[in-house]
């Protein structure tokens, strides 16, 4: 059975049984009908996924892996904040009159800085270090730029990646300030597992462990019954997910280079209410 499923189920059961409810507190999110969107939450959730064992896609609630990959490429490869550059419409509601999401996500990864090896952006710095100084303890990127927060239509939730090489294996830590567990948990896990695989492949390394650190892991009040139904579903083995081995340049990857095989899964959950 999928280890990602087991982690997800355990995390959800713990939040529902032992989490802190924000009921009665003043909260920013609300439902489309204007009702406050309260949550049950746990602080400091840490999940570890070993990509050498399996790809961490859920089977209890299937993840649209190619759509998740498309958004990842939009942020990390295209370094774009323009929603028209994205294949899906998941960011449309956050777009301003200029068609962008402001100085958020991909925009931050495209900003150039003066590093010791020259001027480049954060993604190119990661690639340079993996080629020239792979055992560095400074291989990281951070999208939470305080100077630009007021110009972001949405402050980044998954905001930093730190990479670390052990022998011939690339590992990473994903830091996330907040996560809607039902709608976004496995979406982000799948994305950053693929990012780890991409960086490893173009650097001649093996993809190892992804550690996901969530500061505020929450289930919205209108999601609790859906989550309870999900965690009772049958679990299946993880799918086989690979990248086209012919791609050697990070900027050459496309969605067509993603190969998903043997993805046995439960039916998709539809019409999930989304807090705004």
Which pLDDT does position 120 carry in this prediction? 98
Residue 267 has pLDDT above 90, yes or no: yes
> What confidence category does residue 105 fall into, taking pLDDT thresholds of 50, 70 and 90?
very high
Helices (H), the chain: 3-18, 65-72, 106-110, 122-132, 181-202, 224-230
Return the number of other C-beta atoms located less than 10 Å from residue 204's C-beta. 12
The reply to whether 144 sits in an annotated binding site is no
What is the crossing angle of helices 65-72 and 181-202, to 10°? 60
> Which residue has better confidence, 87 or 124?
124
- 26 Cβ partners below 8 Å, 6+ apart? 36
Structural domains present in the chain: 3-261 (3.30.572.10)
Instruction: Record the pTM.
Output: 0.97
Share of the chain above pLDDT 70, in %: 100
Report the C-alpha gap between 47 and 231 in whole angstroms: 17
The reply to whether 275 sits in an annotated binding site is yes
> What confidence category does residue 178 fall into, taking pLDDT thresholds of 50, 70 and 90?
very high
Q: To the nearest whole number, what is the mean pLDDT of the chain?
A: 97
Residue 4 has pLDDT above 90, yes or no: yes
The reply to whether 220 sits in an annotated binding site is yes
206-220 vs 39-50, strand pairing mode: antiparallel
Q: What is the arithmetic mean of pLDDT over 3-18?
A: 98
The reply to whether 178 sits in an annotated binding site is yes
Share of the chain above pLDDT 90, in %: 97
- 156 Cβ partners below 8 Å, 6+ apart? 104, 105, 108, 143, 144, 177
Q: How does pLDDT run across 128-144, given as a tens digit for each residue?
A: 999 999 999 999 999 99
> What confidence category does residue 28 fall into, taking pLDDT thresholds of 50, 70 and 90?
very high
Residue 213 has pLDDT above 90, yes or no: yes
The reply to whether 177 sits in an annotated binding site is yes
The reply to whether 233 sits in an annotated binding site is no
Residue 276 has pLDDT above 90, yes or no: no
Q: Which of the residues are catalytic?
A: 157
Q: What is the arithmetic mean of pLDDT over 14-39?
A: 96
Which pLDDT does position 93 carry in this prediction? 87
Report the C-alpha gap between 216 and 57 in whole angstroms: 21
């Amino acid at each position: 059975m999928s280890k990602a499923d087991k982690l997800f189920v355990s995390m959800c059961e713990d939040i529902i049984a032992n989490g802190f409810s924000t009921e009665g507190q003043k909260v920013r999110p609300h439902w489309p009908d204007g009702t406050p969107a309260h949550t049950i939450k746990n602080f400091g959730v840490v999940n570890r996924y070993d990509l050498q064992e399996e790809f961490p896609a859920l089977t209890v609630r299937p993840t649209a892996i190619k759509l998740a990959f498309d958004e990842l490429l939009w942020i990390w490869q295209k370094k774009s904040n323009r929603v028209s550059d994205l294949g899906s419409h998941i960011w449309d509601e956050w777009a301003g009159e200029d068609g962008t999401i402001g100085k958020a996500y991909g925009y931050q990864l495209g900003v150039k800085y003066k590093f010791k090896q020259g001027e480049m952006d954060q993604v190119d710095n990661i690639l340079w270090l993996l080629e020239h100084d792979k055992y560095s303890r400074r291989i990281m990127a951070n999208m939470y730029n305080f100077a630009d927060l007021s110009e972001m239509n949405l402050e980044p939730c998954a905001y930093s990646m730190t990479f670390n090489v052990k022998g011939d294996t690339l590992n990473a830590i994903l830091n996330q300030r907040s996560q809607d567990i039902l709608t976004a948990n496995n979406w982000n896990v799948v994305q950053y597992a693929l990012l780890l695989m991409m960086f490893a492949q173009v650097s001649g390394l093996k993809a190892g462990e992804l550690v996901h650190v969530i500061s505020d892991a929450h289930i919205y009040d209108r999601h609790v019954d859906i989550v309870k139904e999900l965690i009772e579903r049958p679990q299946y083995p993880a799918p086989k997910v690979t990248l086209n081995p012919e791609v050697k340049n990070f900027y050459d990857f496309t969605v067509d280079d993603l190969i998903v095989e043997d993805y046995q899964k439960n039916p998709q959950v539809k019409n999930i209410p989304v807090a705004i």
